[in-house]
Amino acid sequence: MLDSEFTDLQQRVLDRIDEQDWLDLTTEMVRTGQPRSCNPIDPDIPAGEEEAIAVYVAGKLETMGFEVTMHESQRHRPNVLGILKGTEGGVSLMMNDHLDTYPAVEPEKWDMCGGDPFAATRHGDWLYARGTSDTRANLAASLVAVKAVIDEGVKLKGDLICCYTVDEEKDGVHGSIFMSQTVGLKADYSITAEPTAWGWDDQEWGMNISAANSGHCLITLSLTGVKSHLWRPDTGVNAVTVAAELIPKLNDLEFTHEVTELMGNTPPCLSVLRIRGGIPGEMQFTPDDCALTLGVVGIVPGMTLESIIADIGDVVSGHLGGRNDVSFSIEQVPGSLFVEPTTPVGAEEEPCVSIRRNYAKIIGGEPNINRKNAFNDTIRWREAGMNAVTFGPGEDGWAPVNESISIKKSLAATKIYALTIMDILGVAE
């Protein structure tokens, strides 16, 4: 769009958003506190420690003039809360992102980073490293946007809140849940700078506004057969074999649900995440126990833990056909949470209205409105009563290795953030 379509103030703020500033900040944050900030979703593996990156980010906010506090429910895992008070006590807007990342357990596979997952490396328009798309680079975009507004001397009418959380990869227990339920964090509107982008290189591209989220849960399916000697497998029931027979049927399972507003890109479905069977030291016997860990995603309103367990039970019962030599049980994985899906924020409500307006100015056209399949802190802010959405650069695909983010999309998102902050909070004369 032409510069004349921006006010003089808007253009001055946009001129302060510099690609190299974003690259430098992203590169520094990708490295900071790693690999300790890696936070596996596995309930039985210790969580990460985000302290180093939290202190780094807190310092950035303090330099910008925010009142910064740190809040933790576990040692070495502080959430960062920055508040910039408005001049007229208007509505409040929270910019949110998280401080933990996925693990990077196979560094040798990160060939785009020279074998170092935390060495941010540019190839053309793409910046590669663990935590680029999810989500150090998105966090950098929010910080650069906020800094551009402040450095231009803009006085905002409403309160600008920056909340950067720990433990997002494990459903927010010590992060967004702690901040909303224990600390009592509130805001009228929230934008989580998480991946919602789509499209590649010279093709058509854009960013969705994820106005709702799907839910998810972890389920354990335990099977018990009859142990036998290795030389006489015909006299027993191998629980691992039964599990192997069930897996294709589980993969094809269509969960009971009703089509709802904004179905996610992934329908309600499950994946087998772990298989445990056999006992060390007993390889001369066939295993009589096998446990499958199942990840259920794409959960939409109306689905419950009970309905999901019932659907899985129907598949298992149907396969076993009333056999009395095999038994099974199904339960939620201990220590995990059942994450409810959320109801959408309307496209004609804030913050969607301002994001859409500024998307048209910076990128052109209308952003898609969708339901995000993955968990992020938006879910917890919605549960706390906020009008919360997810919008940001980064591909909504979560690459296991060679994670990357588009630089041009990141700069576009940064500009949209800056304009949206001024639109929602208002600018004092």
Q: What is the pLDDT of residues 149-176, one digit of tens each?
A: 999 999 999 999 999 999 999 999 999 9
Same domain, 248 and 197: no
| Domains identified in the chain, total number | 2
User: How many Cα atoms sit within 13 Å of 204 on the Cβ side?
Assistant: 4
> Considering the domain boundaries, does residue 338 fall inside one?
no
Please give the single-letter amino acid code of residue 157.
K
Condensed to tens digits (0 to 9), the pLDDT of residues 39-71 reads 998 888 899 999 999 999 999 999 999 999 999
Measured at the CA of 101, the angle between CA 97 and CA 104, to 5 degrees, comes to 160
CB 250 within 8 A of CB 352: no
Q: CA 6, 11, 13, 18 torsion: positive or negative? A: positive
CB 81 within 8 A of CB 69: yes
Same domain, 359 and 387: yes
Measured at the CA of 406, the angle between CA 404 and CA 412, to 5 degrees, comes to 145
Same domain, 42 and 161: yes
> Considering the domain boundaries, does residue 418 fall inside one?
yes
109 is written with which tokens?
């596979």
Strands 189-192 and 387-390: parallel
pLDDT on residue 201: 66
Same domain, 277 and 159: no
Please give the single-letter amino acid code of residue 299.
I
CATH number at 179 reads 3.40.630.10
Residue with tokens 């490293």: 129
Q: State the DSSP string of 181-209.
A: III----SEEEE----EE--TTS--EE-E
Given a cut of 70, the residues of the chain with pLDDT beneath it are 1-4, 201
CA distance 331 to 317: 15
pLDDT on residue 3: 44
Same domain, 44 and 130: yes
Predicted TM-score (pTM) of the model is 0.94
Whole domain around residue 305: which residue ranges?
215-332
Condensed to tens digits (0 to 9), the pLDDT of residues 173-188 reads 999 999 999 999 999 9
242 is written with which tokens?
């039964």
Last residue in a domain, options 332, 367, 392:
332
Same domain, 351 and 311: no
Burial class (CB in 10 A: 0-12, 13-18, 19+), 362: middle
205 is written with which tokens?
């591209």
CA distance 328 to 26: 48
Output the CA–CA distances (angstroms, integers) from residue 340 to 2, 73, 171, 243, 305, in the order listed.
Answer: 43, 23, 11, 28, 9
